[in-house]
Amino acid sequence: MAQHNAFYAQSGGVTAVINASACGVIEACRRHSDQIGKVYAGHNGIIGALTEDLIDVSEESDEAIAALRHTPAGAFGSCRYKLKDIETHRAQYERLIEVFKAHDIRYFFYNGGGDSADTCLKVSQLSEKMGYPLTAIHVPKTVDNDLPITDNSPGFGSVAKYIATSTLEASLDIASMCATSTKVFVLEVMGRHAGWIAAAGALAGDKEGDAPHLVIFPEVAFDRAAVMARVEQSVKDYGYCVIVVSEGARYEDGTFLADSGNTDAFGHRQLGGVAPTLAGMVKQDLGYKYHWAVADYLQRAARHLASKTDVDQAYAVGEKAVELALAGDNAKMPAIKRTGDAPYTWTVEAAPLAEVANREKFMPRDFIREDGFGITEECRRYLSPLIQGEDFPPFENGLPQIAHLAKHRVERKLPEFSI
Amino acid sequence: MAQHNAFYAQSGGVTAVINASACGVIEACRRHSDQIGKVYAGHNGIIGALTEDLIDVSEESDEAIAALRHTPAGAFGSCRYKLKDIETHRAQYERLIEVFKAHDIRYFFYNGGGDSADTCLKVSQLSEKMGYPLTAIHVPKTVDNDLPITDNSPGFGSVAKYIATSTLEASLDIASMCATSTKVFVLEVMGRHAGWIAAAGALAGDKEGDAPHLVIFPEVAFDRAAVMARVEQSVKDYGYCVIVVSEGARYEDGTFLADSGNTDAFGHRQLGGVAPTLAGMVKQDLGYKYHWAVADYLQRAARHLASKTDVDQAYAVGEKAVELALAGDNAKMPAIKRTGDAPYTWTVEAAPLAEVANREKFMPRDFIREDGFGITEECRRYLSPLIQGEDFPPFENGLPQIAHLAKHRVERKLPEFSI
């Protein structure tokens, strides 16, 4: 078989294990050097492809690539940049094909969430129309766990483990202090539209009285009186109350509890500050002393506490992407398929991108407890396997070791292109 | 030698390793069962002694006690309760002695920060006056690292490791995203009066351009224009800017950047919300997209990422406390003495409580860089050894295992006492 090059790019918010997927893609490409020549990575995601700013991954040592497995965030740079619809901005899609053609790229691996699955599908469709032989594979990633078909989205399991562990640890702290000091602790977690990450906080406890005592989901309309009644009851019963609240918590009318008023490049509202807002309500309505934490980037970058299951799956979907590409299985996403709960078993299978793009997976209503403040046993059965196992990175001088890449740039062959 | 009982209590804000000190005290007591009969722990700290609410630690299994070494927070309950001055509230001190007498307690181990060192000293002095033979030992603990004499305060090294690691991980995240998204990340850390924890954030990088690009200390008057100029320069030079800011950051006139207006039981102002305040300034003055995190209890409860050095020292001071008590070395604190920097070597020696109580150790001015936004090499040499080594707890079902104590109560022998 003739040798052609591959292109890999990272898209959207990064995770603790997106580089593990990069590692899976690159190592698999290296094992197939008879078919795949060079691997080029987009510097800052798809923007790197549009502007012909390509990193020659072939120049990186095996050691550096192996270290990607335990390095959080996007080693090649990611971006929040959504290609516009193909009818009005066809030039961008054509440019991608031109860049691929100029560098003999026949394999396109796009590592991201729902938006990038959509882009990947469109690139695939256009290349077909233009008669350019490209195999486009979407490698799933998102801490939000909102990709359809796949059992879970790589990146989510590690955030889930971090949030469950942090909730457990912080709850021991407040339990120690509550007799004379803090009575209510609020932890704000990510999850704009879906409460998956908040639900993971509930894994911290499984017995009556265990923290968290309330989980506040975006899926359940925020009712201040009901929440405060529950907080008061928890303080009366257990001496304290631990709340895990999603950044996407909202009122019945859809207004977010904390809306900073800013929007990101995708037009999503930029949120933040639910925890202090909620803590303020507790103080105002009940008078309890409170503490609050906002984990923000710490939760999705916390490779030091990654779930081994998640790392393994992130690597496996990267590896499988290359397998699919080499089989010419175009416009697919390697999806994780759960084959057993206890013990958790899984395989990776190809899902058609047309069924993935622009579909969000929400929490099933029966994953949320009747009262709206916790998870059901069914949800626990789903979530628990995803946080299993530890995969601590090597440490050096007290800190996690990270990959150091040379990032040699590929010589440009085309005229400039402004985005 | 005759057998008498011991009393142990935890005081003030808890840490990831205060239970490791408890473990050190209790295991050492068990090894000296010829001299020390029962170990009683105060339920919720010194309040447990005042109210005669004592936990019979002798009833706990060896396994449960061993598990304290890897369990964060205060397993017996801590409290924010400062005994008033001895002249006006002599009754409280006398009550302590009465309780000790009633339960044949001759060894008093008080595990806390500066305030509890003071209490410990006063109890020792009063027992002497009252002719009751008590040996009072203060076991050092505080994430604030503000205890004098000792090289560092057990609890601090683990927060330092957590903050340095989190700063490193989050900085990789923002570095991945900054081309098209977040340009400034602000991490708020604890440290009301002293910038020790903020300084630890600086361990995340050691080369020009490495994050954090600014550390904001309570010791350096906050100058908005100077800070913003530095943020802008960092974004221009590196594409992004990571800021570690102490909760105690304040203006020239002493006003805190974020002052919630509440005070705790010790009369300290309750702080919080510096990160969003600072992030708001960045948006207002420079227009950059930002993210912010407030680690709060997560940082001091993060036993999953404890420093092995810190765990070892926390255990060692607990062990040494018993040794001092058995030698009748009254009114002392086991202090860590640094005997070498590279490799870091240390011993534990007795420091007189009179020299410890009510003295705060501030950051030496020469630990803060000339420009006020980072640490010096001297500071790095001091801090770096404290985060060395990992001591991951055992995990079970994806979460850290914690000690489960039976907490059998000791039968009361005295009339009630209201505090």
Residue A364, pLDDT score = 94
Q: Which of B72, B177, B265 sits opposite A181 (nearest CB)?
A: B265
Given an 8 Å threshold on Cβ–Cβ distance, is A298 in contact with B293? yes
Q: Which of B176, B292, B296 sits opposite A78 (nearest CB)?
A: B176
**Using CA atoms, how far apart are residues B161 and B311, in angstroms rounded to an integer?**
12
SS3 of B149, please? coil
SS3 of B307, please? strand
Instruction: Collect all residues of chain B within an 8 Å Cβ-Cβ radius of residue A174.
Output: 297
Instruction: Collect all residues of chain B within an 8 Å Cβ-Cβ radius of residue A181.
Output: 79-80, 264-265
By the 8 A CB rule, do B107 and B2 touch? no
Residues 6+ apart with CB under 8 A from A91: none
Q: Which of residues 100-129 of B touch A (CB under 8 A)?
A: none
Q: Give chain A's domains with CATH numbers.
A: 4-141+305-357+391-400 (3.40.50.450), 156-303 (3.40.50.460)
Is the CA virtual torsion B104, B109, B112, B118 positive or negative?
A: positive
Given an 8 Å threshold on Cβ–Cβ distance, is A10 in contact with B78? no
pLDDT at residue A157 tops 50 = yes
Percent of chain A with pLDDT over 90: 89
Residue A179 CB neighbours (<10 A): 20
By the 8 A CB rule, do A26 and A8 touch? yes
pLDDT at residue A264 tops 50 = no
3-state secondary structure chain A: CCCEEEEEEECCCCCCCHHHHHHHHHHHHHHCCCCEEEEEEECCCHHHHHCCCEEEHHHCCHHHHHHHCCCCCCCCCCCCCCCCCCCCCHHHHHHHHHHHHHCCEEEEEEEECHHHHHHHHHHHHHHHHCCCCCEEEEEECCCCCCCCCCCCCCCHHHHHHHHHHHHHHHHHHHHHHCCCCCCEEEEEECCCCCCHHHHHHHHHCCCCCCCCCEEECCCCCECHHHHHHHHHHHHHHHCCEEEEEECCCEECCCCECCEEEEECCCCCEEECCHHHHHHHHHHHHHCCCEEEEECCHHHHHCHHHCEHHHHHHHHHHHHHHHHHHHCCCCCEEEEEEEEEECCEEEEEEEEEHHHHCCCCCCCCHHHECCCCCCECHHHHHHHHHHHCCECCCCEECCEECCCCCCCCECCCCCCCCCC
Supply angle C-alpha A143, A148, A152, rounded to 5. 45
> What's the mean pLDDT in A131-153?
97
CB contact, 8 Å: A9 with chain B? no
Given an 8 Å threshold on Cβ–Cβ distance, is A294 in contact with B297? no
Residues tagged in the binding site annotation of A for diphosphate: 13
Given an 8 Å threshold on Cβ–Cβ distance, is B265 in contact with A177? no
**Using CA atoms, how far apart are residues B7 and B41, in angstroms rounded to an integer?**
6
Cα–Cα nearest to B359, from B147, B167, B161: B147
pLDDT at residue A375 tops 50 = yes
Residue B197 DSSP class? H
Given an 8 Å threshold on Cβ–Cβ distance, is A293 in contact with B292? no
**Using CA atoms, how far apart are residues B386 and B153, in angstroms rounded to an integer?**
10
Residue B413, pLDDT score = 98
CB contact, 8 Å: A58 with chain B? no
Size of interface A-B (CB pairs under 8 A): 212
Residues 6+ apart with CB under 8 A from B359: B114, B148
Bridge partner residues of A351 (DSSP)? A333
pLDDT at residue A282 tops 90 = yes
CB hemisphere CA count around B13 (13 angstroms): 26
pLDDT at residue A279 tops 80 = yes
Residue B85, pLDDT score = 82
Residue B400, pLDDT score = 98
SS3 of B20, please? helix
| A16-20, A339-343, B163-167: range with lowest mean pLDDT | A339-343
CB contact, 8 Å: A51 with chain B? no
Given an 8 Å threshold on Cβ–Cβ distance, is B179 in contact with A305? no
By the 8 A CB rule, do B297 and A322 touch? no
**Using CA atoms, how far apart are residues B357 and B112, in angstroms rounded to an integer?**
11
Supply angle C-alpha A412, A417, A419, rounded to 5. 130
Instruction: Collect all residues of chain B within an 8 Å Cβ-Cβ radius of residue A275.
Output: 294
Structure tokens given for A1: 């078989």
Q: Which of A265, A291, A297 sits opposite B297 (nearest CB)?
A: A291
- Residue stretches of chain B with pLDDT short of 70: 1, 260-272
Given an 8 Å threshold on Cβ–Cβ distance, is A80 in contact with B181? yes
Residue A109, pLDDT score = 98
Given an 8 Å threshold on Cβ–Cβ distance, is B72 in contact with A173? yes
The alpha carbon of residue B371 is apart from the nearest alpha carbon of chain A, in Å, by 26
Q: In a 10 Å sphere around its CB, with 0-12 CB exposed, 13-18 middle and 19+ buried, how is residue B415 labelled?
A: exposed
pLDDT 10s digits, B214-271: 999 999 999 999 999 999 999 999 999 999 999 999 999 999 987 755 554 455 555 5
Residue B264, pLDDT score = 47
One of A56, A115, A118, A144 is an active-site residue; which one? A144
Question: What residues of B act catalytically?
Answer: 144
Residues 6+ apart with CB under 8 A from A131: none
pLDDT at residue A55 tops 60 = yes
pLDDT at residue A270 tops 80 = no
**Quick one: closest CA in A to B81, which residue?**
A180
Best of A298, A308, A384, A419 to disrupt the B interface (most B CBs within 10 Å) is A298
Q: What is the ipTM of this complex?
A: 0.96
The alpha carbon of residue A77 is apart from the nearest alpha carbon of chain B, in Å, by 4
Given an 8 Å threshold on Cβ–Cβ distance, is A176 in contact with B77? yes
Helix axis angle, B308-326 to B18-31, nearest 10°: 40
Torsion angles phi and psi, residue B257, rounded to 5: -60, -40
Burial string for B292-321 (b: 16+ CB within 10 Å, else e) reads bbbbbbbbbbbbbbbbbbbbbbbbbbbbbb
Q: In a 10 Å sphere around its CB, with 0-12 CB exposed, 13-18 middle and 19+ buried, how is residue B106 labelled?
A: buried
Instruction: Collect all residues of chain A within an 8 Å Cβ-Cβ radius of residue B165.
Output: 304, 399-400
Residue keyed to tokens 């991108």: A353
H/E element, B108? strand B105-112
pLDDT 10s digits, A185-242: 999 999 988 999 999 999 999 999 999 999 999 999 999 999 999 999 999 999 999 9
Instruction: Collect all residues of chain A within an 8 Å Cβ-Cβ radius of residue B185.
Output: 297
Q: In a 10 Å sphere around its CB, with 0-12 CB exposed, 13-18 middle and 19+ buried, how is residue B228 labelled?
A: middle
